[in-house]
Structure 1
Amino acid sequence: MIRRDFVKKSLAVAGVAGINIPAQVAGDDNPLPAKNKFNLKYAPHFGMFENLAGKDLFDQLKVMSELGFTAIEDNGMMGRTPEIQTKIGETLAKYGMTMGVFVIDGGDNWKISLTTGKQEFKDTFLKTCRTAVEVAKRCNAKWMTVVPGFFERHIPIGIQTGNVIDALRQGSEILAPHGLTMVLEPLSDTPELFLRNSDQTYMICRAVNSPACKILFDMYHMQRNEGDVITNLDRTWSEIGYLQIGDNPGRKEPTSGEMNYKNIFKHIHEKGWQGILGMEHGNAKPGKEGEIALFNAYVETDSFLPKPAAATSGKTKGKK
């Protein structure tokens, strides 16, 4: 897409919606003022701003950077060619952006169930971990999502848990020497999955006892499975390696559902979080207008820091 056309169309949409987009996307002749400054490191994914940027991955990265985002995530990174993986890494470095998670994917990730203890599943998992090391080097990634697989009804839960711990310890031995971390994601997609809750994931990470095995706390899934998001963040904080976002119901951007993300983000910021918050959700509205609305939702929910007191003329308010 020609940048000038992108800008004109974007501004037109913004004008209709009665909202603003950052000055830095105002055109090639603009001297580009300071980028929008978020308090936290939110990470969009490819496709989230493709109506504004076009379908080219690298145009999308440019627009994400221009909007002020300092990270991305890409679940499907392992399925991209080595050339594209490398170019993504180089482009992120150019824009000063951080690569977030991609999925350690050995085919259908959920069906390779580590709960069974079967050697064939463990071998596939460990082989994929080794491949993930090479992918991470190309795109400068540090975190990889892992889902242990399905719950096995004919195996006692304690044995399943032990099987998962054994496999994850071996995976950690592959990743740790490279400074990489698998992040275990409890999910709400189906009750057939083994990993469902934050306390269960916390227990497994403590048992694996490696910096290469931590929790991916996806707040959308945890709201659905257990609620009490802020309290459970606090309870499992020492083992959390990565955070993801999605409002409920619908799994769209903050302000689209019931979750008070302004308070959640404020709490995370006050705890000193320096990591990524992956925008693991869809857009509540379609098209360019929906993408601008999504951006503005993050501006709104991120604006939790107290505003400076208005200057006075030396008088104390309320006194004569």
Structure 2
Amino acid sequence: MNRRHFCHLAMAGTALSLAPRGLFAASPAALPKFSYMIWAFPKPMTIDQRLETVAKAGYTGAELVTEWMAWSPEERRRVAALAKSLGITIDLMFPGQVPLADLASRDTIREQLAKAIPVARELGCPQLGYASGPRIPGQSPEQQIANITENLKVAAEIMEKEKMELLLEPIDLLENKRAAVNSVTEAFTITRAVGSPSIKVLYDFYHEQRGAGNLIEKLENNFDQIGLIHVADVPGRHRPGTGEMNYNNIYRRLAALGYNRYIAMEFYAQGDPIAELKTAKEEVLKAFQQA
């Protein structure tokens, strides 16, 4: 994925909501790209089957968690070649797990990034991701945010030199009751404090809806801090449109803001996965065209 310069960042404040409808209608150049987090496929599927399914659905991105850690150098080269042949970019992978709220994690962060970055280069992946890890007993929320900020400053130095991005993903407390960063509100505070173009937020609407809601206002007020969007509906983590969330309105606001990075689907298909992925993509494009 090419680095995006976000030419529409000046529109990201709350004043955007006061603008006349249609003023910021998306142009073809502002359309997003589409990816799928492949862990959400049924477990029996091989990596080849997962990538092929993503490609058959008309997507150009696929995302990994830490599957890559189990691959030999030969397997990595094979997967990279397969993805390229299918027109798929591995747009995100995770370097591992680390308690970001613990200042003693600095060496681990350096070690994990040192291992992950060469693999990301080999796979053509421009972004790495971290969840925050658990809260540290005895720490105040303010101290946790301060420590995570300092640890991500360490990561920022590395990522800036590599001209890559590291994304912080909040995980809601229903999914992980120990998560130190469980809302994008905290994540945006942290990335602003880090102050690096290489440190962004992975805004997962599914997690934020389960934990706090108020999705669109947070999107508008912090658009410049967002590196990636993840999508699934509540309840059940199924395809958008099957639950309580108004994704049509969310997509229209993304269009108005000029979002053209990846929208990554991270849902469990209830039927044919290719058909559901196609439907999910079509609904995004329809909303963008109507914005």
Normalising to structure 1: TM-score of the pair?
A: 0.73
SS in 2 for 1:113: coil
Aligned residue among 41, 45, 52 for 1:55: 45
Query: 1:277: which partner in 2?
Result: 263
Aligned residue among 161, 175, 181 for 2:145: 161
Asked whether the 8 Å contact 1:87–1:139 carries over to 2, the reply is no
Structure 1 residues 186 and 47 mapped into 2: Cα distance closer, same or farther (>3 Å)? closer
1:182 and 2:166 correspond:
yes
The total of aligned residue pairs comes to 258
1:65 and 2:49 correspond:
no
SS in 2 for 1:284: coil
Query: 2:7: which partner in 1?
Result: none
Asked whether the 8 Å contact 1:100–1:278 carries over to 2, the reply is no
Q: How does 1:98-117 map to 2 (within 5 A)?
A: 98-105=89-96, 109=97, 112-117=98-103
List gaps (5 residues or longer) in structure 1. 1-38, 308-320
Amino acid at match of 1:177: K
Q: Give CA-to-partner distance per residue, 1:284-303, whole Å, 9 cap, x none.
A: 34xxx354244324324432
Distance 1:124 1:64 in 2: 33
Structure 1 residues 187 and 48 mapped into 2: Cα distance closer, same or farther (>3 Å)? closer
Q: How does 1:112-261 map to 2 (within 5 A)?
A: 112-117=98-103, 119=104, 121-188=105-172, 189-261=175-247
Structure 1 residues 263 and 138 mapped into 2: Cα distance closer, same or farther (>3 Å)? same
Distance 1:130 1:300 in 2: 39
1:87 and 2:78 correspond:
yes
1:97 and 2:76 correspond:
no
Distance 1:48 1:201 in 2: 24
Amino acid at match of 1:137: R
Structure 1 residue runs of 4+, over 4 Å off?
Answer: 47-51
Q: Which has the higher contact order (CA 8 A, sep 6+)?
A: 2
Amino acid at match of 2:199: C
Structure 1 residues 48 and 158 mapped into 2: Cα distance closer, same or farther (>3 Å)? closer
Query: 1:42: which partner in 2?
Result: 34
Asked whether the 8 Å contact 1:78–1:104 carries over to 2, the reply is no
Structure 1 residues 266 and 97 mapped into 2: Cα distance closer, same or farther (>3 Å)? farther
Distance 1:306 1:152 in 2: 45
Distance 1:100 1:194 in 2: 25
SS in 2 for 1:44: strand
SS in 1 for 2:55: helix
Asked whether the 8 Å contact 1:49–1:64 carries over to 2, the reply is no
Normalising to structure 2: TM-score of the pair?
A: 0.80
Amino acid at match of 1:185: E
List gaps (5 residues or longer) in structure 2. 1-30
Q: Give CA-to-partner distance per residue, 1:10-40, whole Å, 9 cap, x none.
A: xxxxxxxxxxxxxxxxxxxxxxxxxxxxx53
Asked whether the 8 Å contact 1:216–1:242 carries over to 2, the reply is yes
User: Larger C-alpha radius of gyration, 1 or 2?
Assistant: 1
SS in 2 for 1:303: helix
Asked whether the 8 Å contact 1:144–1:182 carries over to 2, the reply is yes
Structure 1 residues 158 and 142 mapped into 2: Cα distance closer, same or farther (>3 Å)? same
Asked whether the 8 Å contact 2:145–2:186 carries over to 1, the reply is no
